[in-house]
Chain A
């Protein structure tokens, strides 16, 4: 690599981060009952961005009570009025999208190009989409007058902090529920900024409550006896623990968990487009994507040609400052996540797969991992079975469509899959056979509020997005 790019950093001046934030309960910011706080850092340079409150059981109880109290009026509002609040929120997100995109890249480490062009437009779109449902619920196929569930306890991950917030809050409010949301420990800031948007929108107090904290806060929220609905996005391991917690209760549960998606390339696929799709599938958002195409299944006859093109393309990826508009791959979200990626990549090597990464200079401070490719991977390897949640691609091969299906389906997960071929009948056959909630054919990692998202098997249950996403928040 000899190209030199002039730096093109996005201005940080558009976002004003306070030195500390409290919990957002009943429309007010307040300190945690125990007075505990923790710091949130920028993973790109380990700079402390702010200090946020660590919510305890007492705070969870307070937030749930506020949500319960607000539920009475909020659920009784005509749908058209709830819709208008959601439309207001959507508009405010659009107005403040540059500020939020910069904030998200600072706190999460993702490239500004992605937070600006992908996350924020989708966040606004989700609120617009579900705003329109609020006064049309009788047409959603869940009866003439479907009822909300009550208080929703929502726990979201750090990979798309604001987008996951939108996925959870927009349908919940549209259906007439009130929410207590806990953002991830390492990325709490955009949810707190969202609290300010709720204030600007004039949203009634208590309808949205934001509790920052770690896993213990999430566990308290999930277990709270007055929560009617639990929605979680995160690891399969935590998802199982949550399923055990709500066992035997009346709480409705939806889980969006891990994945190990197969991205399947047939010999007749357009190679250049497939390469772009593979890169987008695994290196988008540093591979911190539950539906990432982390297993490349390539037909043996085109393996050499495809891998050569893929390596060439990977060599052009720019890793570095998330606020630089030229950056393709930003920082790994935390030291813990980086350690996990390193451990699995090392396991790949020690189990006999061949590791390759383009020459690439990584910054000194912060958490970084170069885009990495493993060839000679077998189905038994840990890197072919376990979710790595980082920019690491495992390459396997196949000869027949049947073999591709068998290998693609050979994990406990079933979130997404990709198929690349010019043959229409084969695409439809493959789409039919793959046990996955989303099948991207000749494309990958596309999202839209109108399109249901969610997994088979251990990738969780329930769907978010689309008409299907309403079911999670209605008594049906």
Chain B
């Protein structure tokens, strides 16, 4: 009697476990869509400006998911054919990488009903619809530093501006700025960086301020470091600075000289069972009005050039697109080829 009870319960446990696993395979429903972005306040803006209006007009229910911009989960989903994310807000370099590996859909611009030539940087990737442009800029607190830095060279000038500086703990932006500060013209930065001597030169320049750098790892940190007075100036993302100025009343000032710009894109993981809905969503997210609204809210530059004219004039000075003369667009092909090697060298340099 007891034995049979035990067997029955074991079978029940195994059955339940199997049931749990079975439930994770995506259900095929026509009227829903899972959209994934980086979470936080930005996702709240996305919800308000894109998700909710989309659900209202199309009747397609949106389930939200969050991720940390790491491509691993998408790769695992596609490789195991269990794609449960239908649309993802991804970084440009991630988009390129996933496109090269065939992890995301090639965008059919005709089906999308959008003009590819109107999109910033769309020619570089076949698999993403440019969603926005953010910039890494030198920032300082005008209250503490009334005569703040004007150029990247000032950022590296310890005599003129003594104190700690914040930089991201990656070679990206860091080595570019080192070369600009060392006198390389902005348009030649990647040409110089593509040579071994250029890389040596960048690290030599970084050596001069190495002991005065506070390295940050997440976008919220530089704002915190600056607000706390841990650093006199820092590299930060323009959208975060804009948010701190608008919503926290900070007196942060951006220096647009040498700003390194990076894009984001809407991508569709390969093999989603809801491809048509995904296209409908991306069409709305890529439209000029939606991108203009997003820019007005967040100061993220639009990926759709037609959106520029629709942005609130008060926000325009903070939009990276309006500083293209002094800015340096991050060279994605350089980073996808030399990134791993440079990061290894950078980490070895940091540890010394």
A, B co-complexed: no
Q: Which residues does B use to contact A, with CB under 8 Å?
A: none
